Amino acid sequence: MRPAHPTEQAVGMEYYVSDADGVGGHLREDDEHFRVRELERFETEPVDSNVDAYPHLVFRATLSGWDTNDFASRLSDALGISRERVNWAGTKDKYAVTTQLFSVYGADLEDLPDIDGAEIEVLGRAGRSLEFGDLAGNEFELVVSEPDEPDLAAEITDELHDFGGLETDGDDATSIGVPNFFGQQRFGSRRPVTHEVGLEIVRGDWEGAVMAYLGNPTDAEPEDTQAARSFVEETRDWDDALERFPNRLRYERSLCHGLAEVDGEPEPAEYRAALERLPSNLQRLFVHAAQSYAFNLMLSERLERGLAFDEPIAGDVVCFADTDAPEGLELPDTDRLQRVDERRVRSVSRHCERGRAFVTAPLVGTETELADGEQGAIERAVLDELDLEPADFDLPGEFYSSGTRRAILVRTDLALEQDPLTLEFALPKGSYATVVLREFLKVDPVQLG
């Protein structure tokens, strides 16, 4: 175990679990070098089914150079509908080739536009929209460009195999495990502030949340953006700030526009109303990022204490595997939880060894019940440090969260090739490819994003 990059430490990922030096290099030299395909789990009816009963048109899109949110906006604009009528199961990155599902309420086959960088395959119709998480996982094929020490990949693989806790027996030689951190892109690869916005929201400081998003200039941003952020921090002049923020920063401009309409100094409710102008999925993301930050801190503290990730200790809460998952994919079902007392540690450990159970930590919300024992002490200490408690997540609208739990370990079978250095693996939904890649490259996370 060794200290992580400072930028990762700032979002709660304080360690690498592999001691070997990284291979170096970077990702995404070309979109083709970062390929993602959803492992789908959503049923559809034939495309000619009754529209009244099945109003949602479902299609598979292979996108190159499209962020999921941006593609949804482009699609809704072309269709002349609200973006809220476009839904998807998982958010994907812009600088990649991604294959994923979308649903559009009220659209017909002939309505779908031709969009550059998008190949669309209509699958059918559905009685409900896709919802976030309506997939089993994702398959990845990733190329590392210009690695300094590509031969170190084998040593790192061996260390991650040991961390995963599976017995070594030939077929399992490429099975690896890593802490199930939320990756840097959850918080912003170049400007990791999403969790700071969320923390202010959960604490009830709506003005602080707006300013965390509008302000906080970073050196990784263009000079005009830094200048706009510095200006709005210093002046709170929303009209002038609206002119200074570049058009590409449409969410910042939306916040400024909403506040510029206020007569006089905005009240907390008006700062909240400005945030509610943003897309609903972005509103949810703020709070989710705050939960994710706390989760990362809990995992880092468990690593610091030398506690196992692949098996429980007394007081842990485990979840069981989803029995309907695709073959070869370990998919936790966090609706099936069990608290592990001293008597059950051995029997539950056997389930964990077989990939049938997983130790969890909380994504804190109103219904969160914390663990007991040493893991419970970790969870309470992190929440105390952040001045949070479950009741704080009883928030209005999209900001509300009941919470859940999440596996602390993610395991996968890794196929590793040289020249070019290529990694192929699958992860359950909600897990990040970059938490695997960071162990191999050990570079500034900007080079992973």
> Considering 245, 278, 311, which residue would you say is the last residue of a domain?
278
DSSP for 68-124 reads HHHHHHHHHHHHTS-GGGEEESS---SSSEEEEEEEEET--GGGPPP-TTEEEEEEE
The tens digit of pLDDT for each residue in 13-34 reads: 999 999 999 999 999 888 899 9
Domain tally, the chain: 4
DSSP for 176-206 reads EEEE-PPPGGGT-SSS--HHHHHHHHHTT-H
| Residue of 48, 52, 67, 93 marked active site | 93
Mean pLDDT, residues 303-319: 95
151 and 25 housed in the same domain: yes
Residues 6+ apart with CB under 8 A from 151: none
Residue 176 in this model has a pLDDT that exceeds 90: yes
CATH of the domain at 73: 3.30.70.3160
CATH of the domain at 349: 3.30.2350.20
In a domain, 170, yes or no: yes
Question: CB pairs under 8 A, 24+ apart, for 248-257?
Answer: 249/225, 251/213, 251/278, 251/282, 252/213, 252/214, 252/228, 254/278, 255/210, 255/213, 255/214, 256/214, 256/232
Q: How far apart are CA 287 and CA 197, in angstroms?
A: 8
Residue 201 in this model has a pLDDT that exceeds 70: yes
In a domain, 92, yes or no: yes
Torsion of CA 229, 235, 238, 243, to 10 degrees: -60
The tens digit of pLDDT for each residue in 208-231 reads: 999 999 998 988 889 999 999 999
374 and 249 housed in the same domain: no
Per-residue confidence (pLDDT) for residue 167, from 0 to 100: 62
Has 93 been annotated as catalytic? yes
171 and 301 housed in the same domain: no
The boundaries of the domain holding residue 268 are 194-278
